Amino acid sequence: MPDVLTHFALPFALTAPLFGLKRAFLIGLIALLPDLDVLVRVHRSATHSIILLLAFALPFVVLLAYRVPRLKALCSAVVLSLISHPLLDMFQTYTPVLYPLVESSIFVDVDVGVLMGGGLRPYFDVGVSSVPVDFSPFKSLDAVMVTGQTLPVSMALILAPAICRLFAVKSRGRVGASDSNGSQSFQAESAVKSVPEEAAIPPDDVTVVVPVLDEAEAIGRVLDELRQEGYSRILVVDGYSSDATAEIAMAKGVRVVYQHGLGKAGAIKTALEYVDTPYMLVMDGDYTYDPKDIKRMLLHAAKYDEIIGVRSGSENIGWLHRLGNKLINFTFNLLLGASLSDVCSGMYLLRTEALKGFELRSRGFSVEVEIVAHMCSSGRVTEVPISYRRRVGRRKLKTLRDGFSIISTVFWLARTYNPVFLLATLASLLAVPGAVLTLWQLYLRYVYGAEAWSMGVAWLGLFLLVVGMQGFTVATIALLLKRMEKRIVQTFGEK
């Protein structure tokens, strides 16, 4: 007899070994969604139809799996978790699992056991019955949340994978610690040596551009590390610091120029006037980025127009900044049809000629996003992992102000590089209120009678739903055409 806890426990137990506890927890919660029909005072209504659940969920998960191929398995698990709810209910009571194809609620009665006496005699009996679908509202909800019969089984399904997962994590940690000076070190060293370093571009072909503003505490250490790694072409672009940043940089023997324009975008524009090497690497001067990671970018520079360093030191990034970065990355990838992990990274390698003919329009910290958008549209972009250290000195980025500015820049860039997709996506959002209004009016009409609904509101909801569906269709076509255009440009560019 499935209850609320059972509906959660079964998909959680099946998916925890595959996807981890956090994702399994979300998958388990998704299995509870069909019971939201109690909010409109109907239980086991059309939300328990496998047909309708698949019709609602499949377009979203297919689109998500298409855009992010690595999530195909997770998307499949989400769909199976969602339809597991009505399938379990079907073995408890009458459930409209095939509505509206079959306007009957189906109940499958399974009787299994073993009789003792004169030997063990197993028996198995299955009966299927049906009644007409009835979505009448209930007066009081008397459904059981948790029963004594299913509680031990549900708790076992939840605790067993959770305990196994936690022990597995601890075991891996102990093995990693014990082998840190042995086999793991040997494997890491072998992996580094196996990289074809002869394919990397030489450091003399790269100008390291360091935009700075009041970084006197960190700039000296950053420049010393760059020198130690063999980078002699260093350009410090100072935004008229009020401290001794410029003087410290000059004392280190590097070239210092004063920027024109505002913010970091102005520093990049100024640097382009002085860079005379085939490649330029931009990195912040606050000590957060390690010059040792530049070698990873140089290995792939000959094949790409931009290589972004994806920051891995999350403990040195505040939780609000991490949340903002995820929101920016999601919005950027959605609106510009990309699949990047860290578009706001402050360390990236560029092919100089690919950027020199481009007019930067953004200001402040939005310049990274604009550069990535330009490179994604007309060139090739890739990513490599880099470390991220705790900064030295005062932080200048304002989380809310600059985060809002970057999000606004992303929408402006989407309007510039993919306007049809942006407008169609905004139009597709109308489907949400349209579906809500339409379903609400249909509910009022068929539950409380013709006098309870409004014809005008119903038509408005239907109009918004149709416009939203058309916008979704156009957005999908625009996304496919944009990707086709990018592949054609890359193919002819390689030739």
Token pair of 155 as six digits: 């708790």
Token pair of 111 as six digits: 């009787």
CB 372 within 8 A of CB 381: yes
486 SS3 class? helix
Radius of gyration of the chain (CA): 30
Cα dist from 134 to 42, 96, 235, whole Å: 10, 9, 75
428 SS3 class? helix
Give the architecture (CATH level 2) of 204-417. Answer: Alpha-Beta Complex (3.90)
CB 30 within 8 A of CB 178: no
Closest CA to 215 of 250, 175, 245: 245
Closest CA to 113 of 129, 125, 104: 125
Q: How far apart are CA 232 and CA 292, in angstroms?
A: 14
CB 135 within 8 A of CB 46: yes
Q: How far apart are CA 80 and CA 86, in angstroms?
A: 11
**HEC assignment per residue over 10-65:** HHHHHHHHHHCHHHHHHHHHHCCHHHHHHHHCCCCCHHHCHHHHHHHHHHHHHHHH
CB atoms within 10 A of CB 268: 24
Provide the terminal-to-terminal Cα distance of the chain, rounded to the nearest Å.
64
Scan for tokens 């625009």, then name that residue.
478
pLDDT (0 to 100) of residue 120: 65
Closest CA to 209 of 230, 224, 231, 229: 231
Residues whose CB is less than 8 angstroms from the CB of residue 57 and which lie 6 or more positions away in sequence, other chains included: 78, 79, 82
Backbone angles phi, psi at 138, to 5 degrees: -85, 155
Question: Residue ranges per domain, the chain?
Answer: 4-166, 204-417, 422-494
Q: What is the pLDDT along the chain (495 residues), one digit of tens a residue?
A: 567 888 888 888 888 888 888 888 888 899 888 888 877 778 888 888 999 888 888 888 787 777 777 778 888 888 899 999 989 888 888 899 899 888 889 998 887 776 766 666 777 788 889 899 888 877 665 566 666 667 778 888 888 877 776 665 544 444 344 443 433 333 333 334 444 555 678 999 999 999 999 999 999 999 999 999 999 999 999 999 999 999 999 999 999 999 998 888 889 999 999 999 999 999 999 999 999 999 999 999 988 999 999 998 667 777 777 888 888 888 888 788 788 989 889 999 999 998 887 778 777 668 888 898 888 877 889 999 999 998 887 766 665 666 677 777 787 777 777 787 778 878 888 888 888 888 888 888 777 777 778 888 888 888 888 888 888 888 778 777 776 766 776 666 554
Q: Beta partners for 113?
A: 123
Q: Give the distance from CA 303 to its chain's centroid.
A: 26
Closest CA to 345 of 257, 426, 283, 298: 283
What does the DSSP 8-state code read for residue 215? -
339 SS3 class? coil
pLDDT (0 to 100) of residue 171: 46
Closest CA to 53 of 8, 83, 25, 77: 83
Strand pairing category for 206-212 and 234-238: parallel
Q: How far apart are CA 474 and CA 481, in angstroms?
A: 10
115 SS3 class? strand
CB atoms within 10 A of CB 139: 7
Alpha helices in 337-394 (DSSP H): 352-356, 367-378
pLDDT (0 to 100) of residue 183: 37
Residues whose CB is less than 8 angstroms from the CB of residue 60 and which lie 6 or more positions away in sequence, other chains included: none
CB atoms within 10 A of CB 16: 23
Token pair of 163 as six digits: 């305990």
pLDDT (0 to 100) of residue 199: 64
pLDDT (0 to 100) of residue 187: 37
Token pair of 159 as six digits: 């605790």
Residues whose CB is less than 8 angstroms from the CB of residue 209 and which lie 6 or more positions away in sequence, other chains included: 235, 237, 267, 268, 271, 275, 280, 281, 282, 283
